[in-house]
Structure 1
Amino acid sequence: MAPVYACSPRQLPVVYHPLYSQLVLPPAHRYPISKYQRLFAHLTEDLTLHQLSDTTSIAPLRVFTPTPVRVEWLKALHQPAYIDALIHNRLPAAKMRRIGFPWSQQLIDRTLMSSGGTLRTVELAHEFGIGIHLSGGYHHAHHDFGSGFCLVNDLALAAKHALTLDGIDTVMIVDCDVHHGDGTATLLADDPNIITFSVHCDKNFPARKPDSDIDLALPRATTTEDYLSAFGGILHLALAQHQPDLVLYDAGVDIHQDDELGYFDVCTQGVYKRDHLVLSHCRQAGIPVAAVIGGGYRSDHQLLVNLHAQLIHTALDVHGIMSSHRL
């Protein structure tokens, strides 16, 4: 079993890189590429930064800079021919359309860095009991193709990486993005040491939803109360039954009632309460959590910032990290 964390870190470990928003997309593209930079700017506004080797200290946060994932690690998870074609711009046009991005070297560099960031977040969670990635959650990438803005599956990759760390024998992926984690389910279907748990809208992307180990499919227009009631009960049972040594949490905010690709009726406070359910349950059980911010879709990218920032607020609250600053 992983160690029980009897005390909290003095600062909240957060992973970020400027590359996350450094991708030029066509006008009116649906993907909110600027939200990562906007979120980081929001978190650092009016705070003093101190460079500490590969980290930046922003009381009450400590921000870690990731390194790109190694290509051979991607080939161990995905089909090597797919990874080679993806990196070298040899994928057929139809497969790039399925991903939803035009190919560019920026896209590849960003993908490798973001995947490396999720791996780093797992390592920080293992060390400190909590780690948050200001990107991640690319759960629609399958073995030999990408889909739905996802080129490679950082959640599956990070879960397998977690199993190489001391004391980690079982990992649970708690995927609360409004869209089903189809790629994660297929990639990890034969791995008994990784439990996939997807909470999603039943009538939403993708059309085909392969079985996760645990699926909670909720109808369109699900309210805050119904969402929290259904999710809270299953989360409690899942953690008690499987007793994971680490939880990888996709905290997508596309469950919000105003999300343009979501279709749920969950309010802003409901998003906070959902995050609190996950982090507090794991905290009480001594289970480290590596969280990614996941999906969230608005034409005005700034409207996503406060929703994603709630994950930071929740982690500070649950882990008792005090701050005189308002994030």
Structure 2
Amino acid sequence: MSMSKSKVTKRAVLVGCNYPYSKFRLSGCANDVQSIKYVIMDKFGFHHDNIKVLTDDNTSPVLSSLLPTGANIKSALNDMLKNAAPGDVLFFYFSGHGTAVPVLVPGKHFRQDEAIVPCDFNLITDLDFRRLVNRVPEGASFTILSDSCHSGGLIEKEKKQNVFVPQALPQQLNLKAKPKFLVFDFINTAIDAAAGFAGNAVDAAAGFAHDGLHKIAEGAHKIFGKDVSLTFHPVQRAGGLLLDPLHEDEGILLSGCDSDETSYDIVSGGKAYGAFTHEVVDILKKMPDSITNKDLMQKAAEAVDKKGYEENQNPCLYCSDKNRDELFLGGLA
């Protein structure tokens, strides 16, 4: 369905988690949000009133409703979808830690689910994003740009598109690079402690290995209640939650790395930023015309590869064949 630009509303939820005052703190995620916000307003016609920002940047007033908790992020996304109309352009941006959730089910092959890590550890997984994408109105689009580790595959069952990355000789950069990655055992142990379960890190990991999702699901549901990820919901664990039928949908994922890789938080020259976000914003600021999802990811992947921030970070594109060649965020305003 074609819609004139004058009738299209562009809506965004932008999230940055620096996890201040913690041993796993990052430096550039709140900065990333401001960079993305500027470029989507300046270039793509997003209006301030249609942008929701959630950060834990300690330089801003701390309002509980604006902190990037799992519940607040999902509430903002649900509101965006609830208000969306056919033809709208929906955008979710995340900069922060990611993790891989091991799914150990007796009698089935081992697999991992990708997840982002909100500031309260209430994980949002690829299953949650799939359910959100399935609610997108006909003719609307939903783009996710995630600068976090294990971000490839964040929309469950979305098709991975091939983006060629030349192996360039990296530049010698004077910077500090920190992985945006939290080991799942650490999250598992923290949830155990918060839920009042006894045991140490070794016991928690062993218990998880034997019980599959049951152990962390029990703790997560005890802490977060109705706001827990669908992955850990009792109904889902009992096999009672069915996904809507999959089809050539409007979900578009631009990930900072593949599902088994790491994205990096960079400090260089007194500035802090996500490696992937920095390159995307630089490309968008300089481009005179609209750019397709495929071409944007091609340029971003080449830029990350050339800079050589760290090994093992290859930005990826996940979407239908049709959306591979669609304009990023509906094109320039």
Would you call these one fold, judging by a TM-score over 0.5? no
**Rg (Cα) greater in structure:** 2
